[in-house]
């Protein structure tokens, strides 16, 4: 019986060597938040998966373990991609401790998150007590074990964990997220008992919550989703994961339809849906939680694996290049809890969204208000890199996402060692070149992606034109006998275009990038922030120049009036900064007199917990 039904599958992280701006980005995280998140304060300096559980001061026992689990996953993937032994050792301290302290009944993780006995739960009659000990953060932490995808020991330990407590109700609430790690472990170990049990959880979840927006029935419907944004991204991917391990097309269609509705109802111009914290529509003044950037990239990656549809790769690039890098400082030492396409003041009182209004969640800080995002931000770039190079299931290789990297692995029926260098400055230039190296000529299929925004692509193989049609938004399979020094080159012409949004919003886009007016900025360290240090500062940022400009151009005149420029910068210059951006566009614009900022009043609000019918906290 076929155990995996995806069009593509992941390649091991260790097969990917990063270069250029992608490596610089990971190095900045290593030297910033990822390598030193304890500087952001609680819980990262007190609570860990290998530490003293008495330091946990949260009413929800699972809460700090969720936040630190994000960090461990991002840290380990960053370490593997950089081949950094010190960072890997720091991440493996938690991973090694958990694997090395498996209980006799198979349980992995903090003792305080073990479920109360059924008798004790029935005595108290307390659903709240059950939810205090939710195990859904295990699903987050176990992604770090999944990063060790050649480590059978990790998969076997997960199998013992999930099979050791058959009474635990994983089909309840967010606990169903454990489906991801359980099916991964079942696939690695070919454990049919675990596979059957995990699928029963998902069936129970869909039966138990008939009106929950995360069920297959709701996702298949045309109903608009307004739930918590992080909950959406964590839960909606489960339909695609279910399909990968069962071939259940209905489950895949549900996940695809959920993300189609997300694009229709919630997507913002920078590639991430509005989610502050609920899904709120397409208002360009809204924004998104940084957790949603990490979780959207990770979740949409599963749809790419399941379908082989190039539009999901387009979505991943847009999300990282615009929302992802917009939510962090260039030195990767501070982040926003809420970010978005239109933000002019980023200080300790500037959050204009309904949730946490008037608080520092929209400013750049090591810990800008709620610790989930400081943990999750570390997963953004590694999550993207994890889906760059994929396998096609037939010994072939897929260049799914474009960034300077080298893939090294075994391809073809003979499993010949092959190295492929991806040379590019994409997305800042239109050319992507692949150079092949191998000990002997080998036949396999090499897939390249034509982005959906590219209308006139050009593909050459060893400088000879590829004659077959090239369709926008597709993968092109090149089946041939490859040899050392073969070169496949893509030219992906980028055109300026205008996209329109509510409230008269207009954006300038070119290729996968969204362009912004370069307003001068006044950065000042916030000395009131107790977590701010000279090395890891919190910032208050205000505009130091006029910002109230409107475009004096329409789509018909755009091509004639827009001037695109690319400047040469030293090879080691980090491009994701305003000062060193290698590309720019000049377009006629006018300053609009009387267009000013309005002050919003503070609002108190209750947020949901992901079940769709109960409250976690009031902020």
Give the pLDDT confidence of 297-323 residue by residue, as tens digits.
999 999 999 999 999 999 999 999 999
- The band of 58, judged by pLDDT with boundaries at 50, 70 and 90, is confident
pLDDT at residue 52 in the model? 79
Q: How far is CA 480 from the centre of its chain?
A: 34
Take residue 262 and report the two structure tokens written for it.
């997300």
Query: Cα–Cα distances in Å, from 240 out to 127, 148, 174, 306, 571?
Result: 30, 22, 17, 6, 39
Helix, strand, coil shares, percent, the chain, to 5: 40, 20, 40
pLDDT at residue 115 in the model? 64
pLDDT at residue 98 in the model? 96
- The band of 54, judged by pLDDT with boundaries at 50, 70 and 90, is confident
Take residue 596 and report the two structure tokens written for it.
């000013």
- The band of 151, judged by pLDDT with boundaries at 50, 70 and 90, is confident
- The band of 228, judged by pLDDT with boundaries at 50, 70 and 90, is very high
For 234, how many CA atoms within 13 A lie in the half-sphere containing its CB?
Answer: 26
First-to-final CA distance of the chain:
50
Q: For 355-401, what is each residue's pLDDT tens digit?
A: 999 999 999 999 998 899 999 999 999 999 999 999 999 999 999 99
Query: Cα–Cα distances in Å, from 509 out to 227, 247, 556, 558?
Result: 29, 37, 15, 11
Token pair 């075994």 is found at 410
Helix (H) / strand (E) containing 496: strand 496-501
pLDDT at residue 126 in the model? 57
The DSSP code for 365 is: B
pLDDT exceeds 70 at position 604: no
Query: Cα–Cα distances in Å, from 93 out to 3, 49, 121?
Result: 33, 9, 33
The pTM of the whole model exceeds 0.75? yes
Q: For 265-304, what is each residue's pLDDT tens digit?
A: 999 999 999 999 999 999 999 999 999 999 999 999 999 9
Q: Are strands 606-608 and 583-586 parallel, antiparallel or unpaired?
A: unpaired
């Amino acid at each position: 019986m076929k155990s995996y039904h995806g069009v593509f599958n992941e390649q091991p992280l260790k097969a990917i060597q990063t270069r250029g701006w992608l490596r610089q980005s990971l190095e900045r995280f290593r030297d910033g938040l990822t390598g030193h998140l304890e500087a952001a304060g609680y819980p990262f300096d007190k609570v860990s998966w290998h530490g003293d559980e008495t330091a946990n001061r949260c009413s929800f026992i699972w809460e700090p373990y969720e936040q630190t689990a994000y960090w461990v996953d991002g840290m380990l993937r960053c370490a593997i991609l950089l081949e950094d032994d010190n960072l890997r050792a720091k991440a493996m301290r938690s991973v090694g401790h958990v694997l090395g302290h498996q209980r006799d009944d198979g349980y992995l993780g903090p003792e305080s998150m073990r479920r109360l006995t059924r008798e004790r739960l029935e005595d108290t009659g307390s659903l709240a007590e059950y939810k205090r000990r939710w195990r859904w953060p295990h699903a987050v932490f176990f992604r770090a074990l999944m990063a060790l995808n050649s480590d059978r020991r990790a998969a076997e330990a997960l199998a013992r964990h999930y099979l050791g407590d058959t009474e635990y109700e994983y089909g309840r609430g967010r606990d169903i997220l454990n489906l991801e790690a359980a099916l991964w472990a079942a696939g690695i170990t070919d454990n049919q008992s675990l596979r059957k049990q995990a699928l029963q959880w998902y069936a129970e979840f869909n039966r138990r919550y008939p009106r929950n927006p995360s069920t297959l029935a709701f996702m298949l419907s045309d109903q608009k989703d307004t739930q918590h944004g992080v909950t959406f991204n964590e839960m909606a991917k489960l339909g695609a994961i279910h399909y990968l391990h069962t071939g259940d097309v209905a489950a895949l269609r549900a996940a695809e339809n959920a993300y189609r509705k997300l694009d229709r109802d919630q997507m913002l111009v920078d590639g991430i849906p509005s989610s502050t914290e609920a899904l709120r529509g397409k208002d360009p003044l809204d924004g998104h939680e940084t957790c949603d950037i990490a979780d959207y990239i990770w979740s949409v990656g599963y749809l790419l694996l399941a379908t082989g549809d190039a539009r999901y790769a387009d979505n991943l690039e847009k999300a990282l290049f615009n929302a992802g890098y917009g939510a962090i400082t260039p030195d990767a030492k501070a982040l926003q809890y809420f970010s978005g396409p239109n933000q002019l003041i980023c200080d300790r009182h500037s959050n204009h969204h309904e949730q946490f209004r008037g608080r520092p969640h929209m400013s750049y800080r090591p810990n800008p208000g709620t610790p989930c995002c400081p943990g999750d931000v570390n997963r953004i770039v590694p999550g993207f890199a994890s889906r760059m190079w994929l396998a096609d299931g037939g010994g072939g290789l897929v260049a799914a996402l474009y960034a300077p990297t080298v893939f090294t692995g075994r391809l073809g029926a003979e499993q010949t060692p092959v190295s492929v260098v991806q040379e590019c400055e994409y997305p800042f230039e239109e050319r992507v070149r692949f150079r092949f190296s191998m000990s002997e000529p080998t036949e396999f299929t090499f897939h390249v992606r034509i982005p959906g925004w590219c209308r006139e692509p050009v593909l050459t193989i060893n400088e000879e034109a590829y004659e077959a049609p090239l369709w926008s938004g597709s993968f092109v399979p090149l089946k041939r006998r490859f040899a050392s020094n073969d070169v496949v080159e893509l030219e992906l012409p980028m055109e300026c275009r205008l996209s329109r949004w509510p409230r008269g919003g207009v954006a300038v886009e070119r290729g996968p990038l969204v362009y912004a007016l370069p307003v001068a900025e006044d950065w000042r360290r916030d000395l009131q922030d107790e977590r701010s240090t000279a090395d890891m500062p919190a910032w208050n940022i205000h505009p130091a120049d006029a910002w109230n400009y409107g475009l004096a151009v329409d789509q018909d005149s755009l091509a004639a009036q827009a001037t695109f420029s690319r400047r040469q910068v030293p090879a080691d210059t980090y491009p994701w900064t305003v000062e060193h951006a290698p590309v720019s566009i000049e377009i006629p614009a006018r300053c609009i007199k009387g267009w000013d900022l309005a002050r919003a009043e503070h609002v108190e609000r209750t947020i949901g917990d992901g079940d769709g019918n109960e409250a976690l906290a009031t902020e």
